[in-house]
Structure 1
């Protein structure tokens, strides 16, 4: 039996056991070699790379967007999202939209690279050359001992402006712009320590809100400024797409001193893309008047004066005292000047009534009627106006016979000639009569003034000079 089983066992060992042992030994060798390879790769840090380019790559028009596309790559994987910092560019607006990063998987050479890509948006606001500064992005690739700092390359581009826009501090192109401001709370009653907020809202037609430049909310003497984050929104209406962009800038001011304070006027300059010219929007200045609040009371009511009530303190500001004093002075002035002002008003009203009556029915009115009749063709109307004027003069009681001057004689002769027997009344009035009438009126006025001064009677009881005895020389 043993002799029979030995050849069988030998065949089993050759065909079954030996191949199994061989396959097991092969697997062990492969595993060991893989461990050696992995340990060798584990000692090498992962490779990283950063790329950046501009879209578009050539010159651009100021006010339009330029994309800065940044790619972050590694040979392993990224354990966390890179930090995407914002950077400053003088004369341009830089933003990083909240867009989802684009995943990358590329063959570069003989290696597979993985990473992410994001795009910054740059809006140049003047015609000049711009340089995108180099900035650092920190990444954490798989297999690395710590974060890796990657530096972006420095790039540049040129922005141009249309003819007529040269020299603009900020080139802001849009087809329409409306600007409004709001002051909260009302600036009428302010004290030192109070706050006031100035809000400027700009609405640009068919323009993204990120392209609207910030409103110039400057520092103000007497106020401490605290800028608030700007708010931007785009008005999108269905099929019409972008209707307008809205940007709201606001600053909170803290009153530091009392007196008059002025928030300066704001002027916003923009380029009208429809009319191809500069436009300006001006916002008026805001005047503030602040009062000082003192902690030390000027008048105090003691506790004993109010019994068991709580301690009361009356605080009067210096400006309140000035206002109270001015009010009292105004009251006393009205009490003292009131009757005098009323009497003066009554006299003025009487003088105005007399002057109005004189101008409508007195000598000036009759004189105007006479001058109008002298330019006419009706002798009866002229003579009637002449006698009406003489009736209204207090110094013409003798009529046409009162004066023997040459002008009066000529005037009297002309009137008598028209009323002589057989005289015609159809001839026009002589134009020289108006000139003679003016001379006669002047003479009457002068004569009236002389008579008013010469007719004054001497005082009835003239003072008698004191008697002084004469000195006689002794004999």
Structure 2
């Protein structure tokens, strides 16, 4: 009788020592009997892939481990209370615990290890509060006992991993990341026409990250959707992104799938710009960039799309041709009853190789510009003949013209040289268009004094 009393007293003292020495252990378990089972709970953070200063990177996956152990066995499900931390995404991605046993000092302990993933969204210091754990274990007398245990608070620091990154920029942290894309055309690449569809699918796969943290990849065409014009090469329809998160054998995988359908609006070379995505590699502790190359797709016009694209140019061309035609008709009608301009008569004479008529037009121009009838005396009124560099050319042109050996080119040069001659007191006429008077004899009539 005394030996049984001493054994019960020693067991009670050992249980009290366990409760006092381990503050995270269960102390609130209750049962119908007086003997309460021993339950331990531990919580810690995964220190893998920390920065050089012991901090974690923004958006990095931090795993919170909660381990519940008892020398008895679990008779019911264990429940972890929800955790809410400002500025942090908390996800329990694995709904099942890892069950294992471990022998310590000759006693076999049953363990349940839970994993909760934390994703800090900003720099600073974060504190994981005490987490309530509801357990149900067997008592020494064989009965099932329920209770609640609280973990100890944990604190850790978070900072930007690189000065090249911004707090709210388009980047993410992951241990592994890859990107792929697929193109689907409603026709073959060489036969694509206006109205056909181009489907682009971009998928990003990552490990140790969350799908909602993967930034958008495809560019936003909201403005093009709101203001559809014929100048846009395509009309885009963006599908909602498909997010996926999974866990397999302790590996956390996430993916983001984006898809856009482009309806070709105009022909020509359609250019899809290159895409880039920055990410912090938590395994190598380096900033890396994923990229997709630029894509060119050629589309052909239909007659309707061609008209829609070039209607403005066609309209301007039509108006210009109408104006030119009308101007030509008016000029033709005007010169039916009036002599043609001197330069026009001179050009026609050269075209017909009518040298006597061309020579006559040269002398008329000489008389109109200088009042002279001898070409040799015109150099005193020609600024081009005064220049030393032009004197030789002027003399050569006169000699060839007077010798009757002139060509069309020499006649044209002589015409232009005479255009630069002007006798003082004579009014200079237009350089491009000179209209002869319809009745030149009126200029010789005397004026009446009023």
Is TM-score (shorter-chain normalized) higher than 0.5? Answer: no
Question: What TM-score do the two structures reach when normalised by structure 2?
Answer: 0.43
Higher RCO (CA 8 Å, separation ≥ 6 residues) = 2
